[in-house]
């Protein structure tokens, strides 16, 4: 996962380096379209996908606005997944889901390319380190243990008994707007999930199960496949149709019985 | 092949699931840029490419506007290729080219992920099913035989002895406009392919063999590499230069001898 | 590496052909976003990345505006890398870095697909040839030796003792503007690299080591990870902020001692 895009050969160079060191490496692209320098977006995307990979997977993430500065580079073991990345908060959400088993600061230049540039550590440091890890070099070889990883301050939903105030944190390729309100948050205010969702000047008065439960072109709210509240349009772009942007507020309230009766 | 785009980690999640079940899987991306929910485009693209893959290839196609509804999911064997996809017409053109050997409805939850979401069957059903197939689980294990697959009503060219009326069905990355008029249709109206092609207010009075037979910037018509009539500009975008859009009419007529004489 | 983009299945078709011939092939995408028909851009990108791949790598490059014409197709051995591509100058920069060991013109139709189209030699000629090479077929089997490869006339910087006049030759995904002025050129005019860089109506009065040595949003100049002079903005797009385009002039001059004193 990087923010390198696909027009240059930056990702290709990293893969060439990896294959040169570990010819058997099997490489999967998570995405290279993280918005440039957007560590929060990368942290979110990473946390939603890493657990679908097999045990012993090495996850290489390069979203690295601090490249060439004194920021640390780390290898971090979380359950049976290994992460190689700059220590800039990329793992903030991953380590909320599962405990860190060990982290080391990457320092041993034996495992870098012979020439290290000041602008492309993805190719010169992270890729060769990941490849040597894949070859079975133990984590402890790369540098000293560290415990004080950097964490991002990510917007958390504001939860009371009567409502949740969250925001839109991701808009996907289809225009679905994903919020920072989790399934478990919704259950706090109504275990049966009889909820109304307000955003901009619009209101949705129920949670749907899937896109196709409403007519084509209709706005709906549902629990996304990554367990967050999502605002969508069946076969359309909620982002465009409802004019939604990152950071927009979303308010969730229980539908109380009397209201329900009145509405009928 | 999906309509998931590349900015999210949806495709990555599917690949992680596949590798978790079938670590030896070799995965090739056909494209993830099918326009959102555009089953026709996917059917067209799929039919033009699948036969270039080796026997025993499993083709996994997720363009699935009906996800979460009662639409069926299928495994379909066509010659020695296996297709895993929603039963929404994606195979319409494939099964016109070669006979179906067997199809089953995907029902056996043993081969799904333990948690199945209502919005991402690509990850939770199609990917694990494809991976189990790759592991050698026989098709019959996944569900009952079915024969009544859904088919799309795709625009067919209107063919008479004196002309063919078709339309533009795909515009590629280069701006080449591909029509639904096949090589074999053209041969019906003139086996020697002495043809004139009309579209918008423009006329091309011959078929070219390749782009470079006309000067740079010139509009031409030729038989595309997938055997359809294509309108192109040598080293330019026919779509932009000729202002072509999907659905535009294209009329092909034989050039009769007298006309040819006059023109000389 | 191609200019095929990712919306069509052109790249997928090539990979299917390769796997059909060489099932063990390991394929890495360098990029498929070379601007359409832009041989210069492809030559530049290729030269910056190929050496990061393992010995014996076969590099398949299809940027081929002359497809279907009489232009030759070649296999070219440079050090321990093999290149398969049209003979249109794509290797111009590669062969400036290392000597050609041997080149052959691709002529032996035994190694083509049975049907060769006039518009897609990537699928019908280049992919199968690369796959047969990967299977160990010797270069000499594909056609006669050739020595007169085509070369592009690429813009070279104009270097005197007191200044270098170059231009912007690539703008990357981040908006970094890469020039055709190499590290070695800069050392000619001042071995200590005390330089000022002028472009448009702007001036940068030093070379930085990395992006993060200047405040966020500030324009800087540095030696890129591919050893060319690059104009960048820390965590921003130099292309947008400085309004830079391909072909813009860049002038580099030494900062002479007296000037430096005055400026202090």
Is C148 inside any structural domain? no
Q: How far apart are CA B144 and CA B162, in angstroms?
A: 48
Mean pLDDT, residues C85-114 taken together: 96
A7, A23, A69 member nearest C173 (Cβ): A7
Distances from the Cα of A251 to the Cα of A40, A165, A166, A197, A244, angstroms: 22, 5, 6, 6, 14
Is A146 inside any structural domain? no
Say if residue A164 is in the same domain as residue A88. no
Q: How far apart are CA A11 and CA A19, in angstroms?
A: 12
- Residue-wise pLDDT tens digits, A125-161: 999 999 999 999 999 999 999 999 999 999 899 999 8
Is B136 inside any structural domain? yes
Do C88 and C71 touch, CB atoms closer than 8 A?
yes
List beta partners, residue A179: A168
Say if residue C179 is in the same domain as residue C256. yes
A20, A69, A120 member nearest C212 (Cβ): A69
**Per the CB < 8 Å rule, is A26 touching B15?**
no
- Residue in chain B nearest C124 by alpha carbon: B225
- State chain A's mean pLDDT as an integer: 94
Chain C: nearest CA to A177, how far in angstroms? 24
Say if residue C36 is in the same domain as residue C80. yes
Mean pLDDT, residues C132-148 taken together: 97
CATH number at residue A194: 2.40.30.90
- Sign of the CA dihedral with A159 first, then A162, A168, and A170 last: positive
Q: Does C135 touch chain B (CB under 8 A)?
A: no
**Per the CB < 8 Å rule, is B28 touching C13?**
no
A&B contacts, CB < 8 Å: 91
Q: How far apart are CA A238 and CA B120, in angstroms?
A: 17
**Per the CB < 8 Å rule, is B19 touching A28?**
yes
Which pLDDT score, from 0 to 100, does residue B261 have? 45
Who wins on pLDDT, B97 or C59?
C59
Distances from the Cα of A166 to the Cα of A163, A180, A235, C154, C186, angstroms: 10, 6, 25, 54, 53
Which pLDDT score, from 0 to 100, does residue B68 have? 84
- Residue-wise pLDDT tens digits, A56-76: 999 999 999 999 888 999 999
Say if residue C128 is in the same domain as residue C165. no
Say if residue B22 is in the same domain as residue B133. yes
Burial of C147 per CB tally in 10 Å (0-12, 13-18, 19+) = exposed
Taking CB atoms and an 8 Å cutoff, what residues of chain B touch A237?
Answer: 36
Q: How far apart are CA A160 and CA A162, in angstroms?
A: 5
- The tokens of A68 are what? 């060439």
- The tokens of C132 are what? 């047969």
- Tell me the pairing of strands C219-223 and C202-204: unpaired
- The tokens of C103 are what? 């080149």
CATH number at residue B135: 3.40.50.10790
Of B172, B168, B166, B169, whose CA–CA distance to B237 is shortest?
Answer: B172
Is A150 inside any structural domain? no
Number of structural domains (chain A) is: 2
Distances from the Cα of B214 to the Cα of A167, B210, B221, C121, angstroms: 56, 8, 10, 18
- Residue-wise pLDDT tens digits, B172-200: 999 999 999 999 999 999 889 999 999 99
Of C123, C175, C151, whose CA–CA distance to C40 is shortest?
Answer: C151
Residue with tokens 């047969």: C132
Is A191 inside any structural domain? yes
What is the 8-class DSSP label of residue C80?
T
Which pLDDT score, from 0 to 100, does residue A261 have? 44
Q: Does B69 touch chain A (CB under 8 A)?
A: yes
pLDDT string in tens for chain B (264-residue length): 999 999 999 999 999 999 999 999 999 999 999 999 999 999 999 999 999 999 999 999 999 999 988 899 999 999 999 999 999 999 999 999 999 999 999 999 999 999 999 999 999 999 999 999 999 999 999 999 999 999 999 989 999 988 999 999 999 999 999 999 999 999 999 889 999 999 998 999 999 999 999 999 999 999 999 999 999 999 999 999 999 999 999 999 998 755 444 443
Which pLDDT score, from 0 to 100, does residue B257 have? 57
Of B247, B186, B248, B261, whose CA–CA distance to B222 is shortest?
Answer: B186
A260 pLDDT above the threshold of 60: no
Say if residue A125 is in the same domain as residue A171. no
The distance in angstroms from the start CA to the end CA of chain B is 49
Mean pLDDT, residues C61-84 taken together: 94
Say if residue A121 is in the same domain as residue A171. no
Q: Residue C62 sits in which domain range?
A: 10-141
Say if residue B113 is in the same domain as residue B180. no
Which pLDDT score, from 0 to 100, does residue C207 have? 95
Q: What is the ipTM of this complex?
A: 0.93
Is A135 inside any structural domain? yes
DSSP SS3 for B139:
helix
Which pLDDT score, from 0 to 100, does residue A238 have? 97
Burial of C218 per CB tally in 10 Å (0-12, 13-18, 19+) = middle
Q: How far apart are CA C203 and CA C199, in angstroms?
A: 6
**Per the CB < 8 Å rule, is B6 touching C6?**
yes
Who wins on pLDDT, C16 or A68?
C16
Those of residues 5-34 in B touching chain A at CB distance below 8 A are 5-13, 15-17, 19-20, 23, 27
Residue of B3, B36, B212 to mutate for C, most C C-beta atoms under 10 A = B212
- Residue-wise pLDDT tens digits, A20-60: 999 999 999 999 999 999 999 999 999 999 999 999 999 99
Do A248 and A167 touch, CB atoms closer than 8 A?
yes
Q: How far apart are CA A232 and CA A208, in angstroms?
A: 10
Which pLDDT score, from 0 to 100, does residue A257 have? 57
Is B137 inside any structural domain? yes
Is B33 inside any structural domain? yes
Distances from the Cα of A242 to the Cα of A135, A166, A172, angstroms: 49, 17, 14
Which pLDDT score, from 0 to 100, does residue B3 have? 95
Q: Does B80 touch chain C (CB under 8 A)?
A: no
Question: Within 13 Å of residue B200, how many CA atoms lie on the same side as its CB?
Answer: 14
Say if residue C130 is in the same domain as residue C246. no
C49, C210, C212 member nearest A13 (Cβ): C49
Taking CB atoms and an 8 Å cutoff, what residues of chain A touch C33?
Answer: 6-7
Say if residue B113 is in the same domain as residue B186. no
Residue of C45, C90, C173 to mutate for A, most A C-beta atoms under 10 A = C173
């Amino acid at each position: 996962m990087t923010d390198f895009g696909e027009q240059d050969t930056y990702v290709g160079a990293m893969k060439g380096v990896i294959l040169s060191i570990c010819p058997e490496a099997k490489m999967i692209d998570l995405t290279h379209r993280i918005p440039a320098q957007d560590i929060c977006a990368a942290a979110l995307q990473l946390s939603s996908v890493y657990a679908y990979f097999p045990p012993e997977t090495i996850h290489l993430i390069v979203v690295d606005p601090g490249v060439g500065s004194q920021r640390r580079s780390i290898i971090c073991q979380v359950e049976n997944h290994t992460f190689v990345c700059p220590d800039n908060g990329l793992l903030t959400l991953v380590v909320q889901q599962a405990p860190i088993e060990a982290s080391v600061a990457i320092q041993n230049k034996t495992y870098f390319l012979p020439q290290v540039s000041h602008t492309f550590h993805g190719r010169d440091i992270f890729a060769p380190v990941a490849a040597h890890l894949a070859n079975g070099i133990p984590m402890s070889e790369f540098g000293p243990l560290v415990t004080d990883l950097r964490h991002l301050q990510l917007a958390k939903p504001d939860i009371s008994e009567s409502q949740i105030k969250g925001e839109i944190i991701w808009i996907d390729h289809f225009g679905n707007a994903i919020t920072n309100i989790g399934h478990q948050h919704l259950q706090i205010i109504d275990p049966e999930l009889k909820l109304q969702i307000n955003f901009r000047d619009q209101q949705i008065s129920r949670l749907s199960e899937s896109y196709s439960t409403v007519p084509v072109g209709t706005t709906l709210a549902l629990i996304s496949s990554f367990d967050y509240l999502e605002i969508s349009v069946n076969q359309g772009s909620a982002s465009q149709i409802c004019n939604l942007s990152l950071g927009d507020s979303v308010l969730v309230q229980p539908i109380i019985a009397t209201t329900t009766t009145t509405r009928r």
